[in-house]
Amino acid sequence: MKSWFPSGNIYLLLLSGGTGSRMKSDLPKQFLELNGKSILLHSLETFIDWGKTKSIVLVSHKDYILKSETLCSPFLRERDRIVEGGDTRHGSTLAGISSLQFATNDIILIHDAARPFVSPDDLDRLSSVTEEFGVASLASKNHETVLEEEKDHLKFLNREKIWFMKTPQGIRGDILKKILEKPSATEPTDLCTWAQGQGITPKLVESNPYNLKITEKSDLALAEAMLPLFQSWKEKAD
């Protein structure tokens, strides 16, 4: 798409609250190195280099705030900050939101720090759709046959309608103010389930094909192999 600029401000919540349990590591996944640089810094620099955020809020687990400050402070700008997260993903999202003063036409992006392969074009398209429709998420289309296992048979799903949710996810300020006013019956797993639980259907924006979430050790090895491919793809896309 052509270079896009928002009508309001863009704020980013960079969720970095992992503790390393699924990675089975003493060090949370966001601090593990990918090509000599922490995954967290790969993600942070993506948004800083994009250059369209007014403020980045790094939401950290309380036990790793000092480590996050030591690692990220040289890269954070005057309006950026690090805040303590909650006990859950949604709790961390609320903690980040509470540190913002946003207007109705602003855009708030929420991203998992464990996803280092997001492109400027992804961010432009997602933000543009968020500005127009209110809530949106990056997602990838499915190209495999999809089965749902039931008790005595397999149910074949329509793969043309199957998407895999990614981040960032975005929400416009007026919509965020609206859903903050109503407590959720169950705790949302992400921004899109939060919005849809209150009757607001998110729009899906197709992600670049390399938008991997690093969760387990095998993902880190895959990310190492993907990094030069992603960098080459991004250069061609630019």
Give a yes or no: residue 1 inside a domain.
no
pLDDT above 90: percentage of residues in the chain: 86
What's the average model confidence in pLDDT over 207-235? 94
Nearest to 97 by CA among 14, 201, 16: 14
β-sheet bridge partners, residue 84: 60
Question: CATH number, domain at 168?
Answer: 3.90.550.10
How does the average pLDDT of the chain come out, rounded? Answer: 93
Tens digits of per-residue pLDDT, 9-35?
999 999 998 665 565 667 889 999 999
pLDDT score of 185? 84
**Residue 183, pLDDT score:** 83
What pLDDT was estimated at residue 217? 87
Nearest to 20 by CA among 59, 57, 64: 64
Q: What range defines the domain where residue 221 resides? A: 10-237
What single letter denotes the amino acid at residue 125? R
4 within a domain of the structure (yes/no): no
Kindly indicate the confidence band of residue 1, based on its pLDDT and cuts at 50, 70 and 90.
Answer: low
Global pTM? 0.94
> Helix H segments across the chain?
39-50, 65-72, 89-98, 120-133, 173-180, 191-196, 217-237
What confidence score (pLDDT) does residue 23 get? 58
- How far the first Cα of the chain sits from its last, in Å, is 10
Which pLDDT value is given to residue 125? 97
Report yes or no on 3 lying in a domain. no
pLDDT digits (tens, 9 = 90+) for 140-169: 999 999 999 998 899 999 999 999 999 999
In a domain, 5, yes or no: no
Q: Mean pLDDT, to the nearest integer, of 36-65?
A: 96
3-state secondary structure of 54: coil
What is the number of structural domains in the chain?
A: 1
